[in-house]
Structure 1
């Protein structure tokens, strides 16, 4: 199998190839199975003997693909390549079918839960300690994972997508710096535009860290905006806060949403002061009925050994 691997994965049957190199395309051409979590290049297409398994990179909150008004047919062309698509819920299946134009081929969508989320059910304290050491995270403070997405409508041909943190880090450090460390995980579209050197004792830039699941399991809470990361994170039953400081502009000028705000498993904040208040209130956090209902609807298939379950359905 071929995945876009950049880490230290080792094993007698694992070969690492750099993305979009000759070795990468050679491996794609020879592989029996493709396992990918995002769209391929337009010119790539599996042959009749190859099996393309699309795991996608997140249950969608914001509209994607053909569900975005005025979108091109790239998603439809990509969907035509799929042999199978993995889903964690009926909701996700419906949205992926619509976004990729899979109507009439719904049977290729396997509702098994996401194999990548196995790690959220199997970690132990030794694993947590190992990650904390690797990232050199100071002990004695709570850890906030802040993972905002990019803004479709905030892009320059020269500098790319704009920084989308939405935070005054000087003020935030004064407000919560004594108790909290922030792990900042930027979307890869804007990751290179961030510089936290002046906040190095308060903010750790983890945008280039390989496995986001590691960041989930070491953090005490998640703050995000419109990113899909909260779906997977909710499996941990830890606090989630939504910082939607530009909600009206995003909804009107970037992308609309599939979900109603009332379904989200955490408070919605629109100013930094509201965000800080929500952070302080996590001291008393217990997953409420809305949180439990969210997991039951969107994550109930996630669990242990989902990779094996998928493999048994596909590999023959």
Structure 2
């Protein structure tokens, strides 16, 4: 009884403390807006990564490679539920209020209630490439969708995307004007055009993951099911571990699981198949894993955009296509959109894996042309050029 009471009191105190911190943050931000804006200051803010990876890594690297006046600051947290101290709230408020450029790479709840200053650029360099399943305000009225009164995303000055064709989807999803969405490219895709870097990643991963060396690697990277982070799951009952092992292990394959970080229920690999299936979900950067993969199995995940740049086979395992379409929906016709075979059962999946080198190259080329305006590995350069020029060409 006493233990339950202690837990209840602790929960209420934690809730009160969190509310107090956020109230303090808003007051601190308001106070800091009275200070001058620091020209050429660039703040990297994230609640989805604790170190520089993804788009942030490539933008940071490009800035540091130049003789530039840009001055960089960072405030990175692994998740938006990670605790922040009063000192950290103070720093975040100061960075948003006084930096000329504030970069986000994902959902960032603290910033949305704020009125961004006129000479500050709040820039969303979204972690995903392309767009085909609906998100944000495109999901109003659907399970997990926002209310019309939500302030989420609406105060972005700019958002960066890979193609003019997806710009309207992002404008709708973020609830911002089309003119604020700039098809400069996704900086994190620059690595796919750097042969030396790609080989260094392959060499490093063969040392870190010795079980892939000399094997045909199949990466299984589905998205989550459910309405969002709190309810996310994946139905592993769809996977017949025995069949995949029996059909593919003797042929020199291994299968890596890279499960979406939102998913709470982890893949349980049967012990007798532990020399074929490997869970690499804790490995942060999926793009590195793509480089060592001979085929990708996914469903509705944006990982297909990056993998398509390698011009290898993607298999779309979608046993719940009708249900997913009804609850999540797409910006495009899924069955016409995907640049690879759609399979609904294990037998079909095995067959497509065995035909790893057989895929429709014309369909893949059309996909790349639509979702990437520039296939040149210079997205980071274009972005930092715009940053240094304060986006004057786009105003």
Q: Give 3-state SS (helix, strand or coil) of 2:213's partner.
A: coil
Provide the residue aligned with 2:44 in structure 1. 2
Q: Which has the higher helix share?
A: 2
- Offset from partner CA, 1:72-131 (integer Å, 9 cap, x none): 2379623322111001112210101111222xx222211111011111211332321112
Instruction: Measure, in 1, the Cα distance between the counterparts of 2:115 and 2:219.
Output: 37
Indicate whether 1:35 and 2:103 are aligned.
Answer: yes
- Offset from partner CA, 1:245-300 (integer Å, 9 cap, x none): 11122222x21112221231101111111011111112344x52111111111123
Instruction: Measure, in 2, the Cα distance between the counterparts of 1:269 and 1:86.
Output: 33
Residues 46 and 196 (structure 1 numbering): CA distance in 2 closer, same or farther, change over 3 Å?
A: farther
- Offset from partner CA, 1:180-222 (integer Å, 9 cap, x none): 1112111112155333362431122121212111111111111
Instruction: Measure, in 2, the Cα distance between the counterparts of 1:80 and 1:153.
Output: 21
CA drift of 1:16 comes to 6.7
> Which consecutive unaligned segments of at least 5 residues does structure 1 have?
none
Contact 1:7 / 1:210 at 8 angstroms: preserved in 2?
Answer: no
Contact 1:184 / 1:207 at 8 angstroms: preserved in 2?
Answer: yes
Residues 2 and 229 (structure 1 numbering): CA distance in 2 closer, same or farther, change over 3 Å?
A: same
Contact 1:68 / 1:255 at 8 angstroms: preserved in 2?
Answer: yes
Contact 2:103 / 2:122 at 8 angstroms: preserved in 1?
Answer: yes
Contact 1:150 / 1:190 at 8 angstroms: preserved in 2?
Answer: yes
Contact 1:34 / 1:51 at 8 angstroms: preserved in 2?
Answer: yes
Q: 1:272 aligns with which of 320, 327, 346?
A: 346
Q: 2:379 aligns with which of 306, 309, 313?
A: 306
Provide the residue aligned with 2:153 in structure 1. 79
Instruction: Measure, in 2, the Cα distance between the counterparts of 1:63 and 1:36.
Output: 20
Contact 1:65 / 1:75 at 8 angstroms: preserved in 2?
Answer: no
TM, length-normalised to structure 2? 0.71
Instruction: Measure, in 1, the Cα distance between the counterparts of 2:200 and 2:293.
Output: 15
TM, length-normalised to structure 1? 0.87
Instruction: Measure, in 2, the Cα distance between the counterparts of 1:200 and 1:146.
Output: 15
Provide the residue aligned with 2:275 in structure 1. 201
Provide the residue aligned with 1:251 in structure 2. 325
Provide the residue aligned with 1:236 in structure 2. 310
In our comparison, the structure showing a higher alpha carbon Rg is: 2
Provide the residue aligned with 1:112 in structure 2. 184
- Offset from partner CA, 1:157-176 (integer Å, 9 cap, x none): 8xx43333431112211111
Indicate whether 1:55 and 2:128 are aligned.
Answer: no
Indicate whether 1:162 and 2:233 are aligned.
Answer: yes
Instruction: Measure, in 2, the Cα distance between the counterparts of 1:119 and 1:26.
Output: 35
Provide the residue aligned with 2:193 in structure 1. 121
Indicate whether 1:66 and 2:134 are aligned.
Answer: no
Instruction: Measure, in 2, the Cα distance between the counterparts of 1:233 and 1:111.
Output: 19
- Offset from partner CA, 1:13-54 (integer Å, 9 cap, x none): 676744442365344323323322221115653741542211
Provide the residue aligned with 1:177 in structure 2. 249
Measured on the aligned residues, the alpha-carbon RMSD in Å equals: 2.8
Provide the residue aligned with 1:88 in structure 2. 162
The size of the alignment, in residue pairs, is 309
Provide the residue aligned with 2:39 in structure 1. none
> Which consecutive unaligned segments of at least 5 residues does structure 2 have?
1-42, 65-71, 391-395
Instruction: Measure, in 2, the Cα distance between the counterparts of 1:14 and 1:302.
Output: 30
Q: Which has the higher contact order (CA 8 A, sep 6+)?
A: 1
Instruction: Measure, in 2, the Cα distance between the counterparts of 1:289 and 1:232.
Output: 17
